[in-house]
Amino acid sequence: MNHTSTKLHLGAAYYPEHWPEARWPEDIRLMREAGFTVARLGEFAWSSFEPTENEFHFGWLEQAIELLAKNGIASVLGTPTAAPPAWLTQKYPATLAADENGQRYEHGKRCQYCVNSPEYHERSRNIVSQMAEHLGANPNVIGWQIDNEFNTVCYCDTCRAAFQQYLAKKFESLESLNENWATRYWSQSYTSWDQIPIPKAGHNPGLMLAFQQFITQSFKKYQKLQVDLLRARLPENVWITHNFMGWFPTYDHYELSADLDLAAWDWYVGSGQPDYTMTGATHDLVRGFKRRNFWVMETQPGNVNWSTVNNHVNQGGIRAMAWHAVGHGAEALLYWQWRSALNGQEQYHGSLVDQSGQPRPLYAEIAQLGAEFAKVSDLLAGSEIKAKVAILNDYNSRWSLNWQRQHQDFDYVAHLQHYCKPLAARNIPVDIISADEPLHGYRLVIAPSLVILNPERTAHLIEYVKRGGTLILTLRTGMKDANNSLLPLRQPGELTEIANVEVEEYYPLDTPAPLSGRMIGDSFSRLWAERLRILDPELNTLAVANYGQKNGWLDGQIAISYNQHGKGGVYYVGAYLDEKAQAKMLEHICNIRSIRPLMDTPPGVEVCQRVTPQGEKIYLVINHLEVAAKVSLPWAAREHLSGFTGKGALTLAPYGIAILTKDA
List the CATH number of the domain containing 633: 2.60.40.1180
Alpha-carbon span 199 to 230, nearest angstrom: 35
Whether 278 is covered by a domain: the verdict is yes
Q: Which tens digits make up the pLDDT trace of 470-485?
A: 999 999 999 999 999 9
Catalytic (active-site) positions:
149, 298
**Does residue 626 lie in a domain region?**
yes
pLDDT of residue 550: 84
| CA gap 329, 322 in Å, rounded | 11
329 and 299 co-located in one domain: yes
Residues 398 and 496 in one domain: yes
Q: What are phi and psi of 346, to 5 degrees?
A: -120, 35
Find the domain containing 490 and state its range. Answer: 389-592
Same-domain check for residues 557 and 652: no
Give the mean model confidence (pLDDT) for residues 642-663: 94
Q: Edge-to-edge strands of the sheet including 657-662?
A: 605-611, 617-623, 657-662, 629-639, 645-652
The verdict on 277 and 359 lying in the same domain is yes
The pLDDT value given to residue 2: 55
Q: Same domain for 609 and 503?
A: no
CATH classification of the domain holding 520: 3.40.50.880
CA distance 204 to 187: 11
Mark whether 132 and 279 lie in a shared domain: yes
Confidence band of 663 (pLDDT split at 50, 70, 90): confident
In a domain, 165, yes or no: no
How confident is the model at residue 91, as a pLDDT? 98
pLDDT at residue 5 in the model: 59
Q: Any idea which of 100-114, 337-351, 435-449, 532-546 has the lowest mean pLDDT?
A: 337-351
Q: Give pLDDT tens digits for 482-506.
A: 999 999 999 999 999 999 999 999 9
Among 329, 354, 378, the domain boundary falls at 378
CB 628 within 8 A of CB 652: yes
* 187 located within any domain: no
- pLDDT exceeds 90 at position 390: yes
Same domain, 374 and 394: no
- The sign of the torsion formed by the CA atoms of 276, 414, 455, 186 equals negative
Residues 368 and 429 in one domain: no
Q: How many folded domains does the chain comprise?
A: 3
Residue 105 lies in a domain: no
Is residue 329 over pLDDT 60? yes
Band of residue 306 on the pLDDT scale cut at 50, 70, 90:
confident
Q: 301 and 399: one domain?
A: no
What integer pLDDT is reported at residue 303 of this predicted model? Answer: 86
Task: Please report, for the domain that includes residue 34, its CATH number.
Answer: 3.20.20.80
- The verdict on residue 95 lying in a domain is no
The pLDDT score that the predictor gives to residue 527 is 97
Residue 184: inside a domain: no
pLDDT on residue 340: 87
Question: Do 552 and 637 fall within a single domain?
Answer: no
Non-local CB neighbours of 504 within 8 Å, separated by 6+ positions: 490, 531, 532, 533, 557
Verify that 509 and 539 share a domain, yes or no.
Answer: yes
Domain termination residue (choose one: 352, 378, 404): 378
Question: Looking at the structure, do residues 588 and 631 belong to the same domain, yes or no?
Answer: no
Question: Residue 38 domain-assigned?
Answer: yes
Single pTM value for the model: 0.97
Query: Among residues 359, 378, 397, which one ends one of the domains?
Result: 378
